[in-house]
């Protein structure tokens, strides 16, 4: 029923052409579907393989900027192309497939929109792009005059290049060229890009990166034109600045965007890292201000979270993470008003608890404008009652929640390290069935049958070497560089080099480089392989260029490919490597070493 209602709501919102930034009384939960450097773990194909499970618990999934950034291992925050959607997370075809699968199951995809700044080729040159027969190109005159604190202007004067006559309307960022959003050309390109994301690729809404970099009125203009169902801005600052930004997006008195509730996150972090749970109390304040979710005037526009890709770590550097009590943090997040956004790493490591927390939230009917009442707040624990449309939920979090006694009329339904959930007793009778279903789902999820994956290569050169390493501490599977020469097999009358690898766990994958030998041409890294893959390769420009042809290779030979016997080929697996007994319609599976969609 949840997904039917969600779909009807989205349809009605789109038909009315509303540009309101976040729906009122919205009961959905969002997943941040990535973390820093999650190129393998959150590939589009891998996320799509989890569609059934994700769509049951989440209503929205925010994914990284999906545009091409011209270099491998790029998180997308230094964008180079808007309309080329082949990124480090997958191809445009895989992106479209994932978004379409999510949409079919009632899960909306939120695009990471990075328009404050733009990368260049050199200092001032932007690539040309053509979409729907129209050519778009940013110009040097679209760069803010005071970009990089004046360094860009000094370089422009040296090269005889013109910049915009306008200074930045927000904060600067030295990593790329800051765009002048007062420019007609910038406006035209950004609006075409947003239209492309929503109406061509199929995104549901936008997460705007670094919105402090340009005027909030620009977001209002972009949202009014493109009409996303959901819009959230990353205004990383104190609550007063965030509220001012939300107000700055208003059109006809209504905000056109929500914002991430950073102070909610910092309250939770401080309570956990200092072991003082009074910091969650609503009767306290600090220099950073009161969280949006605590304020009845703003909680509709509060997207709450307890961790994200920036706070946890960047590359190999620790940032400002939660030190402990991940379960307690998520228990508080998923009980409170606002729209909670769960961090992907937390989902992976605490999946059963988070599933049950979400089920409790939806059972009670908590939404982004729910009211709440503090029950008790001590340094040992903090307890809050949150009122939903069907009842109330009391969440107790802290280092000693056992000493908390709820008022009469409440039954404990869920507990774990550092948290307890109590719901209105009238609703508690429904809990046993919910818990049994989640437990059975988790039991199936944890079942894994090892299988094999074979890489096939048809090359126009010899010799051919396969250098292979895996996700298990980068273990080398073919020895040191350049690896070994693989065996060969005949497929459809053609010779293919091939090697089989054992997939030993749900998170296991391997990586490969095709090369001609030490000091000779080679490919880039080909990473995250978990199923049979077919590639062609050719020498070009002193490098081995490869193409993934898995989707187009048809094996008609009556002889099974190398490394597979009949029983292995008969089994059906999902993309996590779990053997499937009853495939679900519309989901992607693997059989006979090839992907197929269950009809």
Sign of CA dihedral 75, 308, 217, 25: positive
Residue 435 tokens read as: 């818990």
**CA 86 → CA 43, 176, 197, 532, distances in Å?**
12, 20, 14, 21
- Are 163 and 152 in contact, with CB atoms under 8 Å apart? yes
- What is the tens place of the pLDDT at every residue in 555-588? 433 333 333 333 333 456 655 555 554 565 555 5
- Please calculate the CA angle 208-211-216 and round it to the nearest 5 degrees: 110
pLDDT band at 7 (very low <50, low <70, confident <90, very high): very low
153 and 146 Cβ atoms separated by less than 8 Å: yes
- CATH code of 451-568, in short, is 2.60.40
Average pLDDT over residues 323-340: 97
* Rounded percentage of the chain residues whose pLDDT exceeds 90: 77
Cβ atoms of 386 and 299 within 8 Å: the answer is no
Instruction: In whole angstroms, give the CA distance from residue 593 to residue 564.
Output: 8
- CB 105, CB 3: distance < 8 Å: yes
552 has pLDDT over 80: no
pLDDT (mean) for 186-201: 98
Q: What is the mean pLDDT of residues 226-236?
A: 97
The pLDDT score that the predictor gives to residue 285 is 66
The answer to whether the CB of 232 falls within 8 A of the CB of 258 is yes
Six token digits for residue 3: 């997904």
In which band, very low, low, confident or very high, does the pLDDT at 551 lie, cut at 50, 70 and 90? Answer: confident
Q: Encode 417-481 in three state secondary structure.
A: CCEEEEEEHHHHCCHHHHHHHHHHHHHHHCCCCCEEEEEEEEECCCCCEEEEEECCCCCECCCCC
Instruction: Give the per-residue pLDDT at 320.
Output: 86
Give the span between the Cα atoms of 263 and 594, in whole angstroms.
Answer: 47
Query: Over the chain, what is the mean pLDDT?
Result: 89
pTM of the model: 0.86
Report angle CA 21, 26, 30 to the nearest 5 degrees: 80
Residues 6+ apart with CB under 8 A from 416: 327, 331, 353
Question: Tens digit of pLDDT for each residue in 57-110?
Answer: 999 999 999 999 987 568 999 999 999 999 999 999 999 999 999 999 999 999
Lowest-confidence pick of 15-24, 383-392, 501-510: 15-24
Q: Which of 500, 489, 459, 456 is nearest to 557 (CA)?
A: 489
529: burial class by Cβ within 10 Å (0-12, 13-18, 19+)?
Answer: buried
Compute the average pLDDT of residues 333-360.
97
Q: Cα separation of 539 and 181, whole Å?
A: 44
Residue 205: cis peptide before it, omega within 30 degrees of 0? no
How many other C-beta atoms lie within 10 A of the C-beta of residue 569?
A: 13
> Sign (positive/negative) of CA torsion 9, 11, 12, 18?
positive
- The domains of the chain are located at 451-568
Query: What is residue 590's predicted lDDT score, i.e. its pLDDT?
Result: 64
Whether the pLDDT of residue 371 is over 60: the answer is: yes
């Amino acid at each position: 029923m949840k997904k039917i209602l969600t779909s009807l709501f989205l349809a009605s919102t789109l038909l009315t052409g509303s540009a309101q930034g976040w729906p009122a009384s919205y009961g959905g939960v969002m997943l941040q579907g990535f973390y820093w450097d999650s190129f393998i773990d959150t590939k589009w194909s891998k996320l799509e393989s989890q569609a059934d499970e994700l769509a049951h618990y989440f209503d929205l999934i925010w994914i990284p900027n999906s545009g091409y950034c011209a270099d491998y291992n790029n998180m997308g925050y230094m964008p180079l192309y808007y309309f080329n959607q082949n990124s480090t997370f997958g191809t445009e075809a895989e992106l479209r497939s994932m978004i379409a699968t999510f949409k079919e199951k009632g899960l909306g995809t939120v695009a990471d929109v990075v328009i404050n700044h733009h990368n260049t080729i050199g200092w001032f040159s932007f690539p040309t792009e053509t979409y729907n027969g129209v050519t778009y190109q940013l110009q040097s005159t679209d760069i803010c005059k005071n970009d990089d604190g004046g360094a860009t202007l000094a370089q422009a004067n040296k090269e005889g290049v013109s910049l915009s006559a306008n200074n930045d309307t927000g904060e600067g960022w030295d990593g790329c060229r800051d765009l002048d959003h007062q420019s007609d050309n910038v406006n035209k390109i950004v609006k075409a890009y947003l239209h492309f994301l929503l109406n061509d690729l199929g995104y549901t809404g936008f997460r705007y990166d670094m919105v402090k970099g340009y005027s909030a009125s620009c977001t209002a203009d972009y949202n009014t034109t493109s009409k996303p169902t959901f819009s959230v801005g990353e205004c990383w600052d104190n609550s007063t600045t965030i509220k001012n930004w939300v107000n700055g997006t208003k059109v006809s008195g209504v905000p056109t965007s929500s914002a991430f509730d950073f102070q909610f996150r910092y309250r939770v972090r401080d309570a956990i890292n200092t072991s003082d749970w009074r910091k969650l109390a609503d009767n306290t304040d600090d220099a950073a201000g009161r969280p949006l979710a605590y304020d009845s005037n703003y909680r509709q526009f509060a997207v709450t979270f307890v961790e994200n890709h920036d706070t946890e770590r960047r590359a190999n550097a620790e940032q400002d993470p939660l030190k402990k009590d991940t379960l307690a943090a998520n228990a508080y997040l998923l009980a409170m008003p606002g729209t909670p956004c769960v961090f992907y790493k937390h989902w992976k490591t605490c999946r059963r608890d988070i599933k049950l927390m979400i089920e409790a939230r939806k059972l009670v009917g908590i939404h982004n404008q729910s009211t709440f009442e503090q029950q008790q707040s001590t340094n040992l624990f903090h307890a809050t009652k949150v009122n939903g449309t069907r009842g109330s939920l009391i969440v107790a979090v802290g280092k000693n929640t056992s000493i908390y006694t709820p008022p009469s009329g409440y039954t404990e339904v869920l507990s774990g390290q550092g948290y307890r959930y109590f719901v209105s007793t009238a609703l508690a009778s429904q809990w046993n069935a919910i818990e049994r279903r989640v437990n059975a789902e988790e039991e199936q999820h944890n079942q894994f049958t090892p299988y094999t994956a074979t890489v096939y290569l048809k090359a126009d050169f010899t010799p051919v070497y396969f250098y292979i390493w895996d996700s298990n501490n980068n273990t080398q599977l073919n020895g040191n560089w350049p690896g070994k020469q693989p065996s060969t097999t005949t497929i459809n009358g053609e010779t293919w080099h091939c090697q089989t690898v054992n997939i030993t766990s749900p998170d296991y994958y391997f990586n490969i480089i095709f090369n001609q030998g030490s000091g000779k041409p080679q490919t880039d890294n080909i990473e995250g392989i978990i199923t049979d893959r077919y590639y062609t390769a050719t020498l070009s420009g002193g490098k081995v260029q490869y193409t993934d042809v898995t989707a187009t290779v048809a094996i008609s030979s009556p002889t099974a490919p190398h490394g597979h016997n009949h029983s292995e080929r008969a089994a059906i697996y999902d993309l996590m490597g779990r053997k499937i007994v009853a495939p679900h319609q519309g989901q992607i599976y693997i059989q006979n070493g090839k992907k197929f969609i269950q009809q």
